[in-house]
A and B are shown apart, each in its own frame.
Chain A
Amino acid sequence: MKRRAFLEKAGLGAVAATALAGCTGSQQAGDGSASTDSDTSADGDTPTDGATTGTTASGTPSGTLRVATYSSFTGEGTAGNWLKSAFEAEYPATTVEFTTPENGVNKYILQQQKGAPIDADLYVGLNTGELVRTDRELDSSLFASIESDVANVSEVKDSLRIDPDGRAVPYDTGYISLVYNANEVEAPGTFDALTTDEYEGDLIVQNAQQSDPGRAFLLWTIDAKGEDGYLDYWEKLLANGTTVLSDWEPAYQAYMNDEAPIVVSYSTDQVYYHGEGVDIQKHQVGFLNDQAYANPEAVAVFADTDTPDLARRFVNFALSPEAQAEIAVRNVQFPAVAGVDPGEEFSKYAYEPEQPVTFTYEELSGNVDRWIEDWARTVADA
């Protein structure tokens, strides 16, 4: 398996001195976002039919946009709610409605399979593996290609593009790394160190069958050890007393309770944990082989939507520099668009690896389920 070097070394701080430098905190919704109304070609390309399409004859967008996403993206103070109010301020005749299906994108895959109407226009929070699953399960694509219709898509970092067909467009990314307690252990530094006596019983990871960071960590080990070597590596890891818990919350809870000094988590850990009264030693971010696994989150427009133009405008809006900075800070993830500054505090406490890695759509396609199943059986039999 060839190693993927994604995302050039971060240029985050370098562009801090742009006009956007201070726009993270208390900015009014919609303020200054007029520049994002770039002329997408959607108006011309997508035939629209009056009242239901979201664009009136005069070209003023109107109507309701149904956005499906995961639950923590919406609610008070979240990136979702900021996007909603900013977008509605930009287009006063529109309303953004969030829906948070418990089964995530699976709900819409099943709806298409069962011939039921798809009751959303846009999906926010898609990752590469889910896109692969969507295409595997369905004969005709669930999502429309929007690459050529949405101007700001060209601003997204090339290294983050996850969809060869231009449907799913990343709006932010996280880096899966280790978080460790420097009072107890030194940074392991390499994958191999984790299998040594020094780190026996020290690591808590998440179940890759159901947890995003758990899956990303597994894929990271496959990237590092190869398709033929990762199961051997995991056998050593398990023999060294690694604990595999269901999801991020119980794993992090166990870490905070000192059950083990290392946990798989995000490189943004210190954004939450810094300042007075915090033992920063307990929130050290550790990369392995100078890498971390990038887990981009993407937005995609349902092919079936009856407001294709409005949906594209929303995507364009979410990729505008101002929205990118807001999403980064509120969602505690890195922006997907190059040259966006999420602010000093974020940049100080969120770490980017020298060498981000991630699997592409083509690499995951046809492989990811088998990799996870083989891994899970290895853990269960260990």
Chain B
Amino acid sequence: MSTRRRLSDRLVFPAALLATLSVLVVVFYYPVWSVFDAALGDTGAFLARGEATGLFAPIHDVLADPFYTGVAHHLFTEPAGVPAGVLAWLADGVQLVGFGLFGFTAYQAALSALASVALGLPGAYVLARYEFRGRQTLTSLTIVPFVLPSILVAVGFQATFGQTGLVNDLLGAVGLGPVDVLFQLPIIVVAHAFYNAPLVTRLVTAAWDGVDPQQVESARAMGASPLRAFRDVVLPQLLPPLLTAALLAFVFSFMSFPIVLALGGLRLPTVEVWLYAKVQSLELDTAAALATLETALSLVLTYLYLRYEAFQVTASADGGRRSRRPLVDGLRKLADPRRLLVFGYAVVAAVVFLLPVVSLLVESVTGPNGGFTTSYYEFLLARQSSAAVGTVKPLPAIRNSLLFALGTLAVAVPMGVVVSLVATRGGRWSRLAEAALSAPIAVSGVVVGLGLLQTLVFGVELFGQRVTATGPIAIVAAHAVAAYPFVTRNLTPALGGIDDRVVDAARSLGASRLRALVTVTLPLVAAPLLAGTAFAFAISVGEFDSTILLAEGSSSYTMPVALERYVGNRSLGPSLGPATAMGSVLLVVTAASFVVIDRLGGRYGG
């Protein structure tokens, strides 16, 4: 018995790790490498004759082009002249310099990450520290923006912040405005915050829930002021998830593409805009070089962050939960300044999150002349009952989306747990491994799509047979690869904080390693695990780039794919109406799913 257990103990973890790596290699590293290798330049001449001049030529060309790197291009064109140049610049009175496309992309991404924190952190505070009716549901719904396709967010934002939008209508009603914010930097930053603030809120709320109230109380008992107790006890536990979320927000905003062009236009371009254009015109060397630089930047940032995180002392998370304050507690208390701030925040959050979503719902029942119409939903019903070939029907799309998402959870959650366990084993290598394994969030979706196309979809010759891998299983695998880093990023900081003695006690009482993991460790990190699960679900439901390539014919299309088909459909005229109707369906289905996930998942954590 004990031998068998030890054997399974020794085998389970390596087997799971091997399975994780295999999936990653097949649906991620190999396809992506098929694109990236073009960035290496003339490897043939190097291997055959040792000529290194052509090596990394595409990357060098990008770095040496002032359009991409601004003043930094001197580093690559005439590095010897840089010190003199810097001195001349200092002597000249330190004028503002530009860093080209990369510089602007990083700048807007940094602003977007800040805005995401500014919008998301107060949300986490409210959800973690106050009790009110619907709090749990609201927590579940925070991720909804995450799944919305950019074309719909553009519709919602135009309807909210445009010349004739809701905000200007409201401002006009009180004699203010109109404000002209579309097609400018702030609206892009707000749109990125719309997508990424949920990351901040959800990650931080999960960590805040895990703060041990006894620690706070003992700090207070030892004479610490509430502020001091917060700074010394709570804040250290919130910083890792907060910085994780900020990092993810930065990386996503850095690689943001459709929303930038739809709301800001080409005058506010990101690297990804150029990357996409280069893929479209099949200038794959330049595309690969841009993608490599983007990914390298993201991975270096991720690694630096992980190094920092490893130094953070995270406290044990097994002391139960702090009680929440009631948000509404008698009329007199409403005048409490803290509550006033909360309500002020609620107004801002409503404008940024609620209005675009509500506008989207309103658009789905508004005809071209402004009147009420049900024709877009009738369009969906007509698709559903159509017998015509090639019709994209809404119900199969909903079914496929949900099935793929559940499949994704079944694969991504174990993958994420495995990678988290690797990451928390300690040492610099485990951090490096986690950084490398988080590559799926650091590679542009355009590149992943192209890589999948020319490998899995086209097929490869194996033993004289052309083997292709498309269809539902490939879709689930691709979704799982995109999703598991969210499980890992939620889980790792919390896992690191678990007291090893608890697990050791379970093991010494005879539990196998797997059993100890499932019955002791994971319940201790239930809140972050649940948050990661919800994000994995969201990633799967919202995924488009890979799905459209791997969906064979019309049998495995999902809600975003159907929506994209309806965007191009002109049978009701050139209208986004059918797409907004499908978008509303997507919204309702995913919102309901998140509530269910949290309810079911909440039981696991007890």
Contacts and interface: CB of A to CB of B under 8 A. Distances in A.
B119 interface: no
B266 interface: yes
A157 interface: no
A72 interface: yes
A363 interface: no
A103 B183 CA distance: 28
A243 interface: yes
Interface string A345-382: 00000000000000000000000010011001101111
A250 B262 contact: yes
Contacts of A377: 67
A372 B274 CA distance: 11
B392 interface: yes
Contacts of A110: 282, 453-454, 458
A244 B266 contact: yes
Contacts of A243: 183, 265, 267
A209 B266 CA distance: 10
B126 interface: no
Contacts of B389: 74, 81, 84, 98
A133 B163 CA distance: 40
Given A207-B266, A250-B154, A75 B369 contact: no
Interface string B483-512: 000000000000000000000000000000
B474 interface: no
Nearest to A269: B574
Contacts of A249: 151, 567, 576
A11 B316 CA distance: 82
Contacts of B414: none
B214 interface: no
A116 interface: yes
Contacts of B262: 245-247, 250
A137 B391 contact: no
B553 interface: yes
A259 B182 contact: yes
A372 B276 CA distance: 13
Interface in A160-183: none
A277 B367 CA distance: 11
A80 B391 CA distance: 12
A76 B280 contact: no
A75 B562 CA distance: 12
A332 interface: yes
A382 B67 CA distance: 12
Given A76-B388, A250-B151, A117 B466 contact: yes
A382 B267 CA distance: 7
Contact of B159 (A76, A210, A257, A273): A257
Interface in A45-87: 70-72, 74-78, 80-81, 84
B74 interface: no
A35 to B, nearest CB: 26
Contacts of B391: 75-76
**Most chain A CB within a 10 A radius of its CB, from B163, B269, B459:** B269
B458 A246 contact: no
Interface string A268-285: 010011000111000000
B281 A259 contact: no
Contact of B571 (A76, A254, A372, A376): A76
Interface residues of B, number: 59
Interface string A93-120: 0000011101100110111001011000
Interface string A222-260: 000000000000000010000111110110111011110
A379 B573 CA distance: 31
B77 interface: no
Contacts of B154: 250, 253
Given A133-B282, A254-B158, A277-B369, A209 B277 contact: yes
A70 B383 CA distance: 19
B66 to A, nearest CB: 10
Contacts of B226: none
Contact of B458 (A116, A245, A369, A382): A116
A377 B67 CA distance: 8
Given A72-B570, A257-B158, A114 B277 contact: no
A259 B548 contact: no
B367 to A, nearest CB: 9
Contacts of A116: 454, 458-459, 466
Residue picked from A111, A249, A373, most chain B C-beta under 10 Å: A249
Contacts of B383: 76
Nearest to A368: B281
B151 A107 contact: no
Interface string B153-164: 011001100111
B192 to A, nearest CB: 16
B516 interface: no
Contacts of B182: 254, 259
B282 A109 contact: yes
A272 B573 contact: yes
Contacts of B101: 380
Interface string B386-403: 101111100000000000
B261 interface: yes
Contacts of A78: 571
B158 A114 contact: no
Contacts of B266: 207, 209, 244-246, 376, 379-380
Contacts of B570: 72, 272, 332
B453 A75 contact: no
Contacts of B282: 106, 109-110, 133, 137
Interface string B442-486: 000000011001100011000000100000000000000000000
B548 A380 contact: no
B165 A257 contact: yes
Contact of B281 (A117, A256, A332, A372): A372
Nearest to A106: B282
B171 to A, nearest CB: 16
Interface in B401-449: 449
A3 to B, nearest CB: 26
Contacts of A107: 453
B265 A272 contact: no
A257 B450 CA distance: 35
A209 B276 contact: yes
Interface string B544-584: 00001100010000000000110111110110100000000
B283 interface: yes
Contact of A75 (B261, B392, B576): B392
A210 B386 CA distance: 32
Contacts of B458: 110-111, 114, 116
B368 interface: yes
Interface string B260-297: 01110111010001101100111100000000000000
B369 A278 contact: yes
Contacts of A77: 388, 571
Nearest to B545: A102
A272 B571 contact: no
Contact of A72 (B162, B265, B368, B569): B569
Contacts of B523: none
22 contacts: A71-B568, A72-B568, A72-B569, A75-B392, A76-B382, A77-B571, A116-B459, A133-B282, A209-B276, A209-B280, A210-B280, A244-B266, A246-B258, A247-B262, A250-B262, A256-B368, A272-B573, A332-B570, A376-B269, A376-B277, A380-B267, A382-B267
Given A245-B265, A257-B165, 13 more contacts: A75-B391, A81-B388, A110-B453, A209-B280, A246-B266, A250-B263, A252-B574, A253-B576, A254-B182, A259-B163, A369-B281, A376-B266, A379-B267
Q: Which 7 A-B pairs have the closest CB atoms?
A: A246-B261, A72-B568, A209-B277, A116-B458, A272-B573, A244-B266, A250-B262
Interface of A: 70-72, 74-78, 80-81, 84, 98-100, 102-103, 106-107, 109-111, 114, 116-117, 133, 137, 207, 209-210, 238, 243-247, 249-250, 252-254, 256-259, 269, 272-273, 277-279, 332, 369, 372-373, 376-377, 379-382
